[in-house]
Amino acid sequence: MTAALTLYGVTKRFGGLHAVHDVSVAIAERQITGLIGPNGAGKTTLFRVISGAVRPTSGRVLLAGREISGRSPHEVCRLGVCLTHQIVRPFADLSVLENVIVAAAFGSGGRLRDTIRAEAEGVLAFTGLADRSRAPAAVLTLAERKRLEIARALATRPVVLLLDEVLAGLNPAETEQAVELVREIAASGVTILMIEHVMRAIMALADRVLVLNFGGLIADGPPAEVAGLPQVIEAYLGQRLEV
């Protein structure tokens, strides 16, 4: 297995609270890896450490063998790791296309100015937003805003894409469409690590599932195997009572 992203002993403390505790894991290239766990388990904090938004208290994060821990978010993004946010905040006064052009101009690759628009249009076509390219971002539906968030991330040319609850708030039809888009992104060669609470979707999508609880990694393996582990069931449902 070639690792796209490797974490060694990543820990993040806020005062006396261990939000993330000694997480070591290698994320395989070109796979979809799910990151699950109950609320407060440390999932988003771990994403923020990987993306550079939060510095780890200790430990290291490597992208294809190159250390990125301690770098700023814009440096991490330009090196190839892009994070999408659960609460999407596009530039509301800009058009959908302009939002993606901004991301393309900012991201990795050293593209020429005259190619950025064409590339942004290609990303919108890939994400199903081509017909909304001239619309102001402020008028998009939730599902469209989620797609725009993904489109902006893809425009940075990520090697690793961190998806934070991209399915949250979507109806069943929208969820199915979003799942298919995630599959297409992975098929294009992007490594995906995704936080998700829609269990049916993550079990269908992921090649591998990681489970966090109280900041620590408690399970790691194929979705069907992880779902049946006693420690995972206990983390979600509480300790079983003897009757």
Domains of the chain (ranges; CATH) run 1-80+160-243 (3.40.50.300), 91-157 (no CATH)
Q: What is the pLDDT of residue 110?
A: 56
pLDDT at residue 108 in the model: 56
Cα separation, 73 vs 176, in Å, equals: 31
b (16+ CB within 10 A) / e for 40-78: ebbbbbbbbbbbbebebeebebbbbeeebbebeeeebbb
Q: Over the Cα atoms of the chain, what is R_g?
A: 18
What pLDDT shows up at residue 240? 43
Are 5 and 193 in contact, with CB atoms under 8 Å apart? Answer: yes
Q: Report the C-alpha gap between 121 and 219 in whole angstroms.
A: 40
For 109, which DSSP code? Answer: S
Given this model, what pLDDT does residue 242 score? 37
Name the nearest CA neighbour of 191 among 31, 36, 77. 31
Question: pLDDT tens digits, the chain, 243 residues: what are they?
Answer: 678 999 999 999 998 888 999 999 999 999 999 999 998 899 999 999 999 999 999 999 999 999 999 899 999 999 999 999 888 889 999 999 999 999 988 765 555 566 888 999 999 999 999 999 999 999 999 999 999 999 999 999 999 999 999 999 999 999 999 999 999 999 999 999 999 888 888 888 999 999 999 999 999 999 989 988 999 888 876 644 332
Residue 3 pairs in a beta bridge with: 28
- For 5, the token pair is 């992203």
